[in-house]
Amino acid sequence: MTTLTTAPRRIEYPTRDGRPMAETDRHREIAFYIIQALKTYFSDRQDVYVAGNNFVFWEEGNLKARISPDAYVVFGSTPQLRDSFMAWKEGGRLPSVIFEFTSRKTQREDMDTKLPLYEQVLKTPEYFLFDPTGDYLKPRLQGYRLTGGQYVRLKLVNDRLHSEQLGLDLVQQGELLRLYDPRKAAFLPTTFELSQQVMAEARRAEAEARRATEAEAEVERLRAEIARLRAGGTS
């Protein structure tokens, strides 16, 4: 008697849920800045994954065990691009820092659903929330650190919170959220600021090259003049 075996059913993990990436331009710009600034900040490391608005799956085979943070950082995983982050393919690693940029549509989910999930299930060491308009969170920048298995609210000092995981400060500037490097005493630049720095460097290099060319030409002129004078003196 032949025993028939069937191949295990392949599970298709979704990469989207049909919901918009961000509610407003303001929320999208903040998310873009946080993700790109952190990618640049960690660009010299191959063990840091920075992403946002893709699914994080934490239980293999369970399509419901997923969440899509606005931005997050995973230490110990490579920075290569992924469709989704699957913990079982990453040695069980999960985000160490999560950001949510709350709004009218997401405020209840961010506080009532995601906060206990990040605290009790994912056990995310740090969770930060920012409300650009200040309509839903008072203060608009809030942070939690996992201490003894529970989230402890961080104290906002001078409109900023410190992330021990990142080694950076989160600074509220009106409707904007910026990242500040206390070691360099400087904000992490936006993509526009980076492009301006690159252009300034290019202009500086071009000016230096022009000065070097002019100096070399002047040296050649002086050599020619000296040679002419010497030739005139021996005639």
Answer whether residue 8 is part of any domain.
Answer: no
Answer whether residue 3 is part of any domain.
Answer: no
Can you give the pTM of this predicted structure? 0.80
In terms of domains, do 60 and 132 share one? yes
Nearest to 163 by CA among 208, 205, 130: 130
Answer whether residue 65 is part of any domain.
Answer: yes
Answer whether residue 131 is part of any domain.
Answer: yes
Domain limits for position 105: 25-188
Q: For residue 200, what pLDDT band results from cuts at 50, 70 and 90?
A: low
Q: What is the mean pLDDT of residues 54-72?
A: 96
Q: DSSP per residue over 55-86, as a string?
A: -EE-STT-TTSEE--SEEEEETS-----SSEE
Q: For residue 205, what pLDDT band results from cuts at 50, 70 and 90?
A: low
When divided into structural domains, the chain yields a total of 2
Q: Determine the 3-state secondary structure of 210 from DSSP.
A: helix
Tokens standing for 149? 């298995």
**% pLDDT > 90, the chain:** 64
- Number of C-beta neighbours around residue 5 at 10 A: 6
50: pLDDT strictly greater than 80: yes
In terms of domains, do 58 and 160 share one? yes
In terms of domains, do 158 and 110 share one? yes
Count of alpha carbons within 13 Å of 209, Cβ hemisphere only?
6
In terms of domains, do 108 and 64 share one? yes
230: pLDDT strictly greater than 70: yes
Q: How many Å apart are CA 154 and CA 217, to the nearest integer?
A: 63
In terms of domains, do 141 and 155 share one? yes
**% pLDDT > 70, the chain:** 85
Answer whether residue 145 is part of any domain.
Answer: yes
pLDDT in tens, 107-157: 889 999 999 999 999 999 999 999 998 888 999 999 999 999 999 999 999
Tokens standing for 45? 């490391």
* Rg (the chain; Cα; Å): 27
Answer whether residue 5 is part of any domain.
Answer: no
Q: How many Å apart are CA 15 and CA 169, to the nearest integer?
A: 31
In terms of domains, do 166 and 197 share one? no
CATH number, residue 56: 3.90.1570.20
In terms of domains, do 166 and 194 share one? no
3-state DSSP helix/strand/coil percent for the chain, to nearest 5?
35, 25, 45
Question: What stretches of 13-162 show up as alpha helix (H) in DSSP?
Answer: 25-41, 107-108, 115-116
What is the predicted pLDDT for the residue at 17?
64
177: pLDDT strictly greater than 90: yes
